[in-house]
A and B are shown apart, each in its own frame.
Chain A
């Protein structure tokens, strides 16, 4: 039903999948053009300034890494806690993680002033720098993700037909999964929290300067990453009815996301309320901008109401959760809420500046609106992520809850029947 079935329809009207892929490819080409302009003309084509040096790309980068957190948390659940039933979900999450981290790398290659020196952090170590630690962990964890997803690529039907032995070797790397889950857990815990600490250690920006950012980044990443995994699984299964889903596993994870959101919301409120007690120049103005200023809608509606409160209710009330569409909506809201949170955190600390003149320490405000080039190249990176997942779901069976079991039982004995089975699938 895969490759063979397409041929007769070759000259017919393009199906929805082809239209979707063509649309994404168009955005990617536009993004590529924008990216080439950035690389040739430099960051002058962006609206970044010396006052707001981190903008849209850093938000996409942070969000992509947060959305990849399903990989480490679900892998740990399967291979360290022994929740074997989640194995197919962990497989999907790992693939999403690979895409997410490659998106983050693409963003950073655009964002740093000297992309030709991206490797410097690996050679010139500064262990004092949170950003160095993040770079090292992201690099190492990306390697872990490549090994973790190798069995998925090894299972490509074409590869199985062509080089069955090589394909088996790649699939056999799955043996390392527990070890990789352990390493991945350590590396991810380190850098997911350190991304918050990247902001949290800066005393010059009082709205950021607090330890809670690490905890909040960690919790929101776990919720957002798992939400995206379950969301992508549900949507893919909806579009490809032949996919079998373990409804109970999805339900369990959704409930876990709900509880994670409750903890996240609690710490978020506790954190925000504690900032209101005393006036601290810069921090109070920043909080005011978040709750009453230009970020107010983003904060109250995007982050709190739709991003945390509504989805946690939808995911924790069993009757609501099991309606089906409510769960999908809730998971999409969680993803949006995490992106909104990253955007707000990144920008509020930069748009509210502190004066350093001796008379009075007062806050000043500045502006940032992404330029067209930033938007187009950012959209290109997001389109790349969607395209990669679509292709993975279509040709690599990254969402298939029947696949894992069949693979585990069959591949040990005979490889070829499985290849045929997968080819005819």
Chain B
């Protein structure tokens, strides 16, 4: 079937596979298409989202109140606006939520783990904050140290830049959040996290959760199958508490569940940008360490090491 042909008669030499005109035209077409696609995406991405709760466009000052003097029997709407202003006085992006865990006080009771399961409605087998046990020394001189390990809410979270769909991001107040509706379940974030803080939903769970008390459920959405989840510093409690004018770390309603439950008071929570917050005071008073600081992740969970009895002021 194949006739012996002159080598110059090959597939490309005659006729030319693509004339210069065709090449230029095709190139221009591809270039125009690419430019159109890129500009469409850039325009789409630079347009401000309307439901963004933070940022320069957020209304923070209601000048109308400047002319109204506070009164005891003022209108309830005016009162509400005053409260709103109060809780917006410090923008959320200037907050710096931090957890301090005192390993000297922790007795390893796992109450925090249970409170977290009930608060966040964790499916069976998933734990956001295990309490790890270490043993030092030899019998009879044995010491135990318990290290509760929530998500570190890193300043440079390794899980965020790797996500191919931007389903996980750092909120302006530093909490690393997950969009369960965006996530494709590739588990790159799980591989990237040095703390093993993320747990994947390997199977569907829609039964009643035995860990959630019968008298009430929190307003935390259940995660679908096929996405990872992790400790969120209970940001639903923080957000709701702030809207009510409460102070996270001081008022229990605005504080993560694990901090509230701890029977030893071994942990504190608060805004590190506020010098009066419980965490600022603790960290000013005692030395502290963080886990795997050498990785440069900048964890926001601080641990207070064991120290002499009575050294606590």
Contact = CB atoms under 8 A, between A and B. Distances in A.
Interface of A: 41-44, 46, 48, 50-51, 53-54, 79, 82, 84, 87, 111-114, 117-118, 120-121, 124-126, 128-132, 134-135, 174-179, 183, 198, 201-205, 244, 349-350, 353-354, 356-359, 361, 402-409, 412, 421, 425
B18 A178 contact: yes
Q: Which interface residue of A46, A48, A175, A421 has the most chain B CB atoms within 10 A?
A: A175
B191 A356 contact: no
B35 interface: no
Contacts of B162: 128-131, 201-202
B184 interface: yes
B289 to A, nearest CB: 6
A176 B26 contact: yes
Contacts of A174: 17
Q: Which interface residue of A51, A79, A129, A425 has the most chain B CB atoms within 10 A?
A: A129
Nearest to B299: A356
Nearest to B186: A112
A35 B193 CA distance: 29
B255 interface: no
B161 A128 contact: yes
Contacts of B158: 202-204
29 contacts: A42-B201, A42-B225, A42-B226, A48-B202, A50-B190, A50-B196, A53-B191, A54-B187, A84-B12, A113-B186, A113-B201, A114-B184, A125-B45, A126-B165, A131-B162, A174-B17, A175-B22, A177-B17, A177-B18, A198-B188, A202-B192, A203-B158, A203-B295, A204-B193, A204-B295, A359-B136, A404-B11, A407-B11, A408-B11
B97 interface: no
B181 to A, nearest CB: 9
A41 B191 CA distance: 23
Contacts of A87: 10-12
Q: Which interface residue of A113, A121, A124 has the most chain B CB atoms within 10 A?
A: A113
B201 A402 contact: no
Interface of B: 1-3, 5, 9-13, 15, 17-18, 22-23, 26-27, 30, 41, 45, 132, 134, 136, 147, 149, 158, 161-167, 182-188, 190-196, 198-204, 224-227, 289, 291-292, 295-296, 303
A46 B162 CA distance: 24
Given A131-B164, A175-B18, A41 B227 contact: no
A408 B12 CA distance: 8
A113 B2 contact: no
A409 B200 contact: no
A179 B11 contact: no
Nearest to A44: B203
Given A198-B188, A203-B194, A204-B191, 9 more contacts: A44-B202, A48-B202, A112-B184, A120-B182, A120-B184, A121-B165, A203-B295, A405-B9, A421-B1
